[in-house]
Amino acid sequence: MVKKAFNYLRNQDYFFSLLICLAFAIALAVFSPYFLVRNNLDSLQTTIAPNSIIAIGMMLLIILGMFDLSVGSVMGMSGIVAGYVLSRTALVQALGEPLVVLLAVLAGLAVGLVVGLINGVLVAKAKIIPLITTIGTMYIVRGFAEMIMTSETGYSLIGFPKAFIDFGRTKFLGLYLMTWVCLILLAVFGLVLTKTHIGRKLYYIGGNRSSALSLGMNVDKITIICFMISGLLSSIAGILSVSRFESASRYLGVNLQMDILIACIIGGGSFLGGKGDMWGVFFGTAFVALLQNGFNLFEINPLLKSVVIGAVLAIVVAVDGYLYLQKKRALGKV
Amino acid sequence: MDKQLYERKRFKPSDYTVFLLIAAIFLLLTFTSDTFLTYNNLYSLLYGVSIQFFAVIGFTFLLILGEIDLAVGSMYGLSGTMAGVLMVLGKWNFLPSVLLTLVLCTAFGAGVGLLVTKLRLNSMMVTLGTMSLLKGLTAVLFNMMTANIYGEAYRNFAKFRIMGINWTILAMVLIVLVFEVLLQKAPSFKQLYYVGHNEETAKLYGIKTNKLKVLSFAACALTAALGGIIATSRITHSDILTGSGLEFSLITACVVGGASLAGGRGGMLKSAAGMLFIALLTNGMIIYRIEPNLQQVVIGIILVIAVSIDVWINKYKYKPFKLLRR
């Protein structure tokens, strides 16, 4: 029974991330007395939950053979937009708290949808490669966010309604509500990917684009929808983070796209498309979060973090490419 | 073959747009601003372009090959800081520290090239990783030596003048002329275009594509490092923001100048013209007091437009996700 379960796991794409994640968690628990402490586990949740939510959208795109680098900027921008609506006291007095919170959330989500739509149309219709498109929108959205935060308005984003802050603070069964949102989203997208026709289409397009086209699949439409989902999920993560941290920061989501990409690739995705699942999203983001947690727990110079992240990404890309090459060689295609 | 030759001779709008754009923005700024057409403004503009131009030399080779190095901006930032650490903390002299920095950076670039060619990786993804890696290294080195002004020899490096003109400007003119002729006429340089156009065919004709790619990656790292050293020499100290976002403006400059992300197009003169266009644009935005953050937005929009036009013009041969697939 155990052997059967192990054999099953070993054949999954996420096996490597599960293994490395467990190993890292055990190492941290053994070597650091502060790892299994309430506060540390709480702060881990606030990293893993938003990152996982963003990584869901990224994984959908990676399955398609694309990616989105604008997620970090979108996360920051939606947080700022939501914070802007929430901190208008005149609006709160006129409309009442619940309506303003709803309005703020909708405004935040609109940012993600619009940026996702722009990304999707540029990639699918204008045929610009995803890297250039999303680097462009990354800088553009970040530029707007910086512009807001360095102007007068930047100082006024305080004093949010109580209902909004309570949402970030409340725990249910020991987990923050944002963690529950994340788990629900993971389950929903996991089911969609494995059980539905639409989910399987993504793998098909990622695996062989030209045959998907010749089968009459609307690849452009699916691409645009996936980019919009990615933007929407980044917005959700941004709004949840703002409600947890009780402020809209200009540093929210800076350079986050790297962490997310690495998480997805470690979690079994491949830049060539056609691979990846929601278990991988969770274990991948958990691994990256644990890595950062390790830096904090052992008081290693935080500047080294981006060195490690970059090196991990380069190594992961190299290993991914090597395995692909081996597979091709085994088939005698190279 | 005949058809291709014929197409080469045909008028291609993208070959000349950059010069028209430069003329247009030059005239616009001349007529709408008093401070633009002064010797000091134009000279400092040209001086700034000539320093950043070093980074675009190797980058152009890579774009012609159809590869890309996103770590070029990070390399630009790292080299100045690294040379500074060797000089200030290692008490080395000016020349050996600069030479060692250049050698290390070139070796790193060659390593990336080997990784890309041997494992047949997508250069974009590998250099996305090395970009983050080098940025982190720069931050670590930078924190070791904050607020240190570099020695006299280093500071004078960028200021050295020949006949009253900074040597970097003269070097830029010379390099543009030499490489433009080499890329048009020399067989070994023309191979870059063949590989960029069609790698499989180039291989069949006996061109050593892998060797070319490794050399180009090394050249890109070398020129970026040289540019970074001159840039830090100009501002007399190391700055954490040196080269941040440079890869972005380099891609924009090259694509505006008529290079294609699909490879096989572009040239040294056009890349330099693209850099000049971006510099003029930034200069104009500074004259009109547009916020730095908004400047980034404008350059981002121009990049997207330029790439769209590139795709639109090259529709007949452009494969949408060529760079993403091996």
Q: Does the pLDDT value for residue A185 go beyond 80?
A: yes
The Cα A243–Cα A176 span in angstroms is 11
Q: Does the pLDDT value for residue A319 go beyond 50?
A: yes
Q: Does the pLDDT value for residue B4 go beyond 60?
A: no
pLDDT of residue A31: 87
Range B164-189 average pLDDT: 87
CB A76 within 8 A of CB A218: no
What lies within 8 Å, CB to CB, of B286 at 6+ separation is: B295
Q: With beta carbons under 8 A apart, name residues in chain B contacting A324.
A: 326
A311: contact with B, CB 8 A cutoff: yes
Q: A127 vs B311: CB contact, 8 Å cut-off?
A: yes
The Cα A16–Cα A269 span in angstroms is 11
What lies within 8 Å, CB to CB, of A88 at 6+ separation is: A100
Residue indicated by tokens 């923050």: A176
Does residue B1 fall inside a structural domain? Answer: no
Please, what is the Cα angle at A176 between A175 and A180, to 5 degrees?
Answer: 80
Q: Does the pLDDT value for residue A271 go beyond 80?
A: no
Range A158-175 average pLDDT: 81
Distance from CA of B303 to the nearest CA of A (A): 7
Distance from CA of A310 to the nearest CA of B (A): 4
What backbone torsions phi and psi does residue A123 show, to the nearest 5 degrees? -75, -45
Tokens of A132: 């250039």
Range A101-116 average pLDDT: 93
Domain that holds residue B262: 12-313
Residues of chain A with pLDDT > 90, as a percent, come to 28
pLDDT 10s digits, A223-245: 999 999 999 999 999 999 998 88
Q: A66 vs B132: CB contact, 8 Å cut-off?
A: no
Q: With beta carbons under 8 A apart, name residues in chain A contacting B311.
A: 126-128
Q: What is the mean pLDDT of chain B?
A: 82
Tokens of B87: 């000089």
Q: B304 vs A136: CB contact, 8 Å cut-off?
A: yes
Query: Chain A, 256-285: which have a CB under 8 Å from a chain B CB?
Result: 258, 261, 271-272
A130: contact with B, CB 8 A cutoff: yes
**Residue type for position B39:** Y
Which of A303, A310, A324 is opposite residue B131, by nearest beta carbon? Answer: A310
Decide: helix, strand or coil at residue A171. strand
Out of A20-34, A165-179, B205-219, B309-323, least confident range: B309-323
Q: With beta carbons under 8 A apart, name residues in chain B contacting A133.
A: 304
Which of A136, A306, A321 is opposite residue B119, by nearest beta carbon? Answer: A321
Q: With beta carbons under 8 A apart, name residues in chain B contacting A115.
A: none
Q: How many CB atoms lie within 10 A of CB B220?
A: 31
A4: contact with B, CB 8 A cutoff: no
Which of A144, A301, A325 is opposite residue B119, by nearest beta carbon? Answer: A325
A122: contact with B, CB 8 A cutoff: yes
pLDDT of residue B167: 85
Tokens of B326: 């091996």
Distance of CA A234 to the CA centre of its chain: 7
Tokens of B182: 């080499």
Residue of B297, B302, B323, B326 to mutate when probing chain A, most A C-beta within 10 A: B297
A310: contact with B, CB 8 A cutoff: yes
A213: contact with B, CB 8 A cutoff: no
pLDDT 10s digits, B23-72: 888 888 888 888 888 888 888 888 889 888 999 999 999 989 888 888 99
Q: Does the pLDDT value for residue B321 go beyond 70?
A: no
Task: Give the model's confidence band at A77: pLDDT under 50 very low, under 70 low, under 90 confident, else very high.
Answer: very high
The Cα A187–Cα A190 span in angstroms is 5
Q: What is the mean pLDDT of chain A?
A: 86
pLDDT of residue B15: 66
The Cα B146–Cα B136 span in angstroms is 15
**DSSP classification of residue A293:** H
Does residue B252 fall inside a structural domain? Answer: yes
The Cα A232–Cα A238 span in angstroms is 10
Does residue B321 fall inside a structural domain? Answer: no
Which of B120, B129, B261 is opposite residue A132, by nearest beta carbon? Answer: B261
Long-range Cβ pairs for the range A28-36 (8 Å, 24+):
A28/A290, A28/A293, A28/A294, A28/A297, A31/A298, A32/A294, A32/A297, A32/A298, A34/A297, A35/A293, A35/A297
Q: Is residue B182 packed enough to be buried (19+ CB in 10 Å), middle (13-18) or exposed (0-12)?
A: middle
Please, what is the Cα angle at A265 between A259 and A270, to 5 degrees?
Answer: 145
Does residue B222 fall inside a structural domain? Answer: yes
Q: B301 vs A147: CB contact, 8 Å cut-off?
A: no
Looking at the 3D structure of chain B, how many domains does it have?
Answer: 1
Q: With beta carbons under 8 A apart, name residues in chain B contacting A143.
A: 293-294, 296-297, 300
Task: Give the model's confidence band at B1: pLDDT under 50 very low, under 70 low, under 90 confident, else very high.
Answer: very low
Interface A-B: count of C-beta contacts within 8 A: 132
pLDDT of residue B325: 41
CATH code of B195's domain: 1.10.3470
Q: Does the pLDDT value for residue A333 go beyond 70?
A: no
Q: B324 vs A258: CB contact, 8 Å cut-off?
A: no
Give bridge partners of residue B161 from the DSSP assignment. B166
Q: Does the pLDDT value for residue B92 go beyond 60?
A: yes
Distance from CA of A169 to the nearest CA of B (A): 33
Distance from CA of B104 to the nearest CA of A (A): 17
Q: A310 vs B129: CB contact, 8 Å cut-off?
A: yes
Range B298-309 average pLDDT: 81
Q: A314 vs B324: CB contact, 8 Å cut-off?
A: no
Q: A130 vs B122: CB contact, 8 Å cut-off?
A: no
Please, what is the Cα angle at B180 between B177 and B181, to 5 degrees?
Answer: 85
Out of A79-88, A280-289, B285-294, least confident range: B285-294
Question: What domains lie within chain A, and their CATH numbers?
Answer: 13-330 (1.10.3470)
Tokens of B229: 């050293």
Give bridge partners of residue B162 from the DSSP assignment. B165
**DSSP classification of residue A151:** S
Does residue B4 fall inside a structural domain? Answer: no
pLDDT 10s digits, A143-153: 888 888 888 77
Instruction: State the DSSP H helix or E strand holding residue A175, giving kind and residue range, or none if neither.
Output: strand A175-176
Q: With beta carbons under 8 A apart, name residues in chain B contacting A312.
A: 129
Q: B129 vs A272: CB contact, 8 Å cut-off?
A: no
Query: Helix/strand/coil (H, E, C) string of chain B?
Result: CHHHHHHHHCCCHHHHHHHHHHHHHHHHHHHHCCCCCCHHHHHHHHHHHHHHHHHHHHHHHHHHHCCCCCCHHHHHHHHHHHHHHHHHCCCCCHHHHHHHHHHHHHHHHHHHHHHHHHCCCCHHHHHHHHHHHHHHHHHHHHHHCCCCECCHHHHHHHHCEECCEEHHHHHHHHHHHHHHHHHHHCHHHHHHHHHHHCHHHHHHCCCCHHHHHHHHHHHHHHHHHHHHHHHHHHHCECCCCCCCCHHHHHHHHHHHCCCCCCCCCCCHHHHHHHHHHHHHHHHHHHHCCCCHHHHHHHHHHHHHHHHHHHHHHCCCCCCCCCCCCC
In this structure, the strands spanning A175-176 and A171-172 are antiparallel
Does residue B97 fall inside a structural domain? Answer: yes
Does residue B131 fall inside a structural domain? Answer: yes
Q: A307 vs B137: CB contact, 8 Å cut-off?
A: yes
What lies within 8 Å, CB to CB, of B277 at 6+ separation is: B18, B21, B22, B25, B253, B256, B257
Q: B130 vs A314: CB contact, 8 Å cut-off?
A: yes
The Cα B209–Cα A98 span in angstroms is 63
Range A259-283 average pLDDT: 86
Please, what is the Cα angle at A108 between A105 and A111, to 5 degrees?
Answer: 150
Residue indicated by tokens 């989910």: A199
pLDDT of residue B14: 57
Q: B115 vs A314: CB contact, 8 Å cut-off?
A: yes
Which of B296, B307, B308 is opposite residue A143, by nearest beta carbon? Answer: B296
Q: Does the pLDDT value for residue B316 go beyond 50?
A: no
Range A268-297 average pLDDT: 87
Q: Does the pLDDT value for residue B309 go beyond 80?
A: no
Q: A325 vs B120: CB contact, 8 Å cut-off?
A: yes
Does residue B323 fall inside a structural domain? Answer: no
Give bridge partners of residue A176 from the DSSP assignment. A171
Q: Which residue has the higher pLDDT, A280 or A326?
A: A280
Q: Does the pLDDT value for residue B171 go beyond 70?
A: yes
Range B4-33 average pLDDT: 72
pLDDT of residue B318: 44
